[in-house]
Chains A and B, each alone.
Chain A
């Protein structure tokens, strides 16, 4: 294992610094390289599932464009963390005021999770983008391009990132394991691919956490994943269906507090798990319908704990009627 000084999170340690190192996404990378060659960059929208290299591509692009000055010419913002569009606008304004360093006449602003912005905020963002086009180029990053308003889409070059293929992830995982001196078994690798679902970040995090336990094999991977993606969600649903509402609600709170899971995370996992429950098929459909309704209420801005409790109460009622 590597020495103390170089231990860090492997997702960062092995984040590609150049465009050439980026796994898969050949079409995207080819086009981006052209921008580097011409030293001109349009506004861009990177869309695709998590862990497919969107942020990495943006950072590598900046790296290649600015060389050693890259940090001073790139502003990274995350729409989920900034307090509303006003803060984003202020930060962009402040940043755009100063001239870029080096010979490229513009700076880059990376706005991550842009699809978490409301349509109104996106409209305001569009005006900001226009205002500073001369000195700044935007790279917007989103999971879904459809959640970005048309006027912004039409001002951006759109790049779609594909989910990574298992063989690409496998190659990268094997490379990291070798570099870190981790013993990785064949079934361990397969388990990682299975749980990663095309998300390289998750694959690497799983590898590192499993390596912390020793040999990376099927057993250690599932131990990690079992802890990291709570199987307790199914337990919670089963408790509710059995009519043990108070325990189910306790579980819910535990998930939210100790795992820091958001209500939306939980409701989505419930949706996934409901079809694996041992209940009649038509019951699954009815429960899924209710889960959808509760999900909608949360998206509308309702309180997550209240909504999920109501959902569990419905499960309890449903369970009592199934008997």
Chain B
């Protein structure tokens, strides 16, 4: 039986997600440390009731907990810390799970609170306190993940947890993992190409897999040439990544961070988002909501520039990242992003626009009208004349003192341009 075609492309990070501990690459010691803690905790030994897995993104923190649930046959209760705003929410979501035995007949549960550093200062104070309360009361092991748990406000939380540090994954390990994926996908990949990808991500395995998918999906071969253009168009490549992070974000905070951590100009990212909205969002409601957010961001950008009140910029950022990201009604869908048409046109047709502006200036001088007026009131008619009547065109061209480039812009035809230029010379 043939496989059903997927309506969307599956993310390789999910498709090739390790199922056993020995499949996870890198951070052997951290994983061992976690397993030792977990086994003791499950036996009821006197250890910390929670483990805090911390380190850079994409190195396997959440993955460790997911694999642990599978290997130890535990039911995984997963939540994202940024979803937890109040004590009530924490207790409602986790309270039930931690107080009563599992209904599915498994041995036990493990509770995972992801991105715990996503809880911010005052407004989440209740949430943070609730997480601590949860750790204290839970019958089941609690695992938390964080990129940076060293903010003073997490001190009380840190005291409750066994801290397990995750490091960046070595390039060579990433390369061999990428090789496995290529093998499974039937892609002949040049090792140098994979190394190139792996070196760029600075230990972030998830990014490496995503990059590989963006570059190699649908290909039979992947050569160094295929990936090398990235170094030439580094900025563009970074934009792919920023875009993916913004669209994939589950919380406002992660969407905003995606932009904040990028070195790219926010106005450039703005164009990238604009270009790719209809690629990312296929349903009209998502698209309209996302565009409304982008439109509002743009309104704030206009106000910011006009008033020079740069504090307003934060609203632009909110709406263009979080606003756009939260428009999605389902999970993130892998999308092939495109280079913004506007940036392409701006660079390609700069010359053409210059020519048009010059024509408008000539008309403006002769016809007592603004350049803008020339563009809307005269240019369309001139085009018709130049395309259809070389006699009249030659006369007008001479009168306006047009050059060959301008004539060629109006005729859009080399042969006619030549004829007009010749007619002008005759007189």
> Which A residues have a C-beta under 8 Å from some C-beta of B?
1, 4-9, 11-12, 50, 55, 59, 76, 78-81, 112-113, 201-202, 205-206, 208-209, 211-213, 224, 227-229, 243, 245-246, 249, 253, 257, 259-262, 265, 294, 297, 300-303, 305-307, 309-310, 313-314, 316-317, 319-321
Interface contact A262-B370, CB-CB below 8 Å: no
Measured between C-beta atoms, what is the minimum distance from A10 to chain B in Å?
A: 10
Q: Decide yes or no whether B44 CB sits under 8 A from chain A.
A: no
Cβ contacts A to B, 22 pairs, < 8 Å: A4-B398, A5-B395, A6-B395, A8-B395, A79-B370, A202-B377, A228-B380, A243-B284, A245-B284, A253-B341, A259-B380, A260-B376, A297-B298, A297-B299, A301-B302, A303-B302, A309-B291, A310-B295, A313-B278, A313-B290, A313-B292, A316-B284
**Which one, A206, A303, A316, contacts B288 given CB within 8 A?**
A316
Q: Decide yes or no whether B418 CB sits under 8 A from chain A.
A: no
Measured between C-beta atoms, what is the minimum distance from A91 to chain B in Å?
A: 15
A208 and B349 in contact (CB under 8 A), knowing A78-B364, A253-B341? no
With a CB–CB cut-off of 8 A, which chain A residues contact B372? 80-81, 262
Task: Identify the closest chain A residue to B395 (Cβ).
Answer: A7
Interface contact B396-A7, CB-CB below 8 Å: yes
Given pairs A300-B302, A313-B277, A321-B284, 12 additional interface contacts (CB within 8 A)? A7-B392, A7-B398, A9-B396, A12-B367, A78-B371, A80-B373, A205-B381, A260-B379, A297-B295, A313-B292, A317-B285, A319-B284
Measured between C-beta atoms, what is the minimum distance from B345 to chain A in Å?
A: 7
The complex places the Cα of A313 from the Cα of B277 at a distance, in Å, of 10
Q: Decide yes or no whether B383 CB sits under 8 A from chain A.
A: yes
Interface contact A300-B377, CB-CB below 8 Å: no
Measured between C-beta atoms, what is the minimum distance from A70 to chain B in Å?
A: 13
With a CB–CB cut-off of 8 A, which chain B residues contact A297? 295, 298-299, 302
With a CB–CB cut-off of 8 A, which chain B residues contact A245? 278, 284, 287
**Which one, B290, B363, B377, B388, contacts A212 given CB within 8 A?**
B388
Task: Identify the closest chain B residue to A249 (Cβ).
Answer: B278
Interface contact A209-B366, CB-CB below 8 Å: no
Question: How many residue pairs between the two chains, A and B, have CB atoms under 8 Å in the bound complex?
Answer: 169
- The CB with the most chain B CB atoms within 10 A, among A206, A259, A306, is that of A306
Measured between C-beta atoms, what is the minimum distance from B300 to chain A in Å?
A: 9
With a CB–CB cut-off of 8 A, which chain A residues contact B367? 9, 11-12
Q: Decide yes or no whether B389 CB sits under 8 A from chain A.
A: yes
Total interface residues in chain B, CB < 8 Å: 60
Sort A-B residue pairs by CB-CB distance and give the 9 closest, nearest first. A7-B395, A310-B295, A317-B288, A228-B380, A212-B389, A313-B291, A301-B302, A80-B370, A310-B291
**Which one, B295, B369, B376, B381, contacts A262 given CB within 8 A?**
B376
**Which one, B274, B364, B384, B391, contacts A224 given CB within 8 A?**
B384
Q: Decide yes or no whether B399 CB sits under 8 A from chain A.
A: yes
With a CB–CB cut-off of 8 A, which chain A residues contact B400? 8-9
Measured between C-beta atoms, what is the minimum distance from B196 to chain A in Å?
A: 32
A213 and B384 in contact (CB under 8 A), knowing A7-B394, A205-B378, A320-B284? yes
Measured between C-beta atoms, what is the minimum distance from A319 to chain B in Å?
A: 7
**Which one, B287, B394, B398, contacts A316 given CB within 8 A?**
B287
Interface contact B345-A257, CB-CB below 8 Å: yes
Interface contact A227-B391, CB-CB below 8 Å: no
The complex places the Cα of A300 from the Cα of B287 at a distance, in Å, of 24
Measured between C-beta atoms, what is the minimum distance from B253 to chain A in Å?
A: 24
**Residues 350 to 408 of chain B near chain A (Cβ within 8 Å):** 356, 363-364, 366-373, 375-385, 388-389, 391-396, 398-400
Interface contact B349-A257, CB-CB below 8 Å: yes
Interface contact B366-A78, CB-CB below 8 Å: no
Task: Identify the closest chain A residue to B377 (Cβ).
Answer: A201
**Which one, A81, A208, A257, contacts B364 given CB within 8 A?**
A81
A205 and B377 in contact (CB under 8 A), knowing A260-B356, A310-B292? yes
Q: Decide yes or no whether B306 CB sits under 8 A from chain A.
A: yes
Task: Identify the closest chain B residue to A304 (Cβ).
Answer: B298
Interface contact B301-A303, CB-CB below 8 Å: yes
The complex places the Cα of A4 from the Cα of B396 at a distance, in Å, of 9
The complex places the Cα of A78 from the Cα of B366 at a distance, in Å, of 13
The complex places the Cα of A28 from the Cα of B295 at a distance, in Å, of 45
With a CB–CB cut-off of 8 A, which chain A residues contact B393? 212
The complex places the Cα of A302 from the Cα of B426 at a distance, in Å, of 49
Measured between C-beta atoms, what is the minimum distance from B247 to chain A in Å?
A: 16
A8 and B396 in contact (CB under 8 A), knowing A112-B368, A253-B341? yes
A301 and B305 in contact (CB under 8 A), knowing A243-B284, A313-B287? yes
Interface contact B384-A302, CB-CB below 8 Å: no
Q: Decide yes or no whether B317 CB sits under 8 A from chain A.
A: no
Interface contact B274-A306, CB-CB below 8 Å: yes
The complex places the Cα of A113 from the Cα of B371 at a distance, in Å, of 11
Measured between C-beta atoms, what is the minimum distance from A162 to chain B in Å?
A: 20
The complex places the Cα of A261 from the Cα of B341 at a distance, in Å, of 18
With a CB–CB cut-off of 8 A, which chain A residues contact B77? none
With a CB–CB cut-off of 8 A, which chain B residues contact A257? 345, 349
With a CB–CB cut-off of 8 A, which chain A residues contact B274? 305-306, 309
Interface contact B303-A300, CB-CB below 8 Å: yes
The complex places the Cα of A26 from the Cα of B199 at a distance, in Å, of 80
The complex places the Cα of A243 from the Cα of B278 at a distance, in Å, of 11
Interface contact A314-B291, CB-CB below 8 Å: yes
Measured between C-beta atoms, what is the minimum distance from A217 to chain B in Å?
A: 15
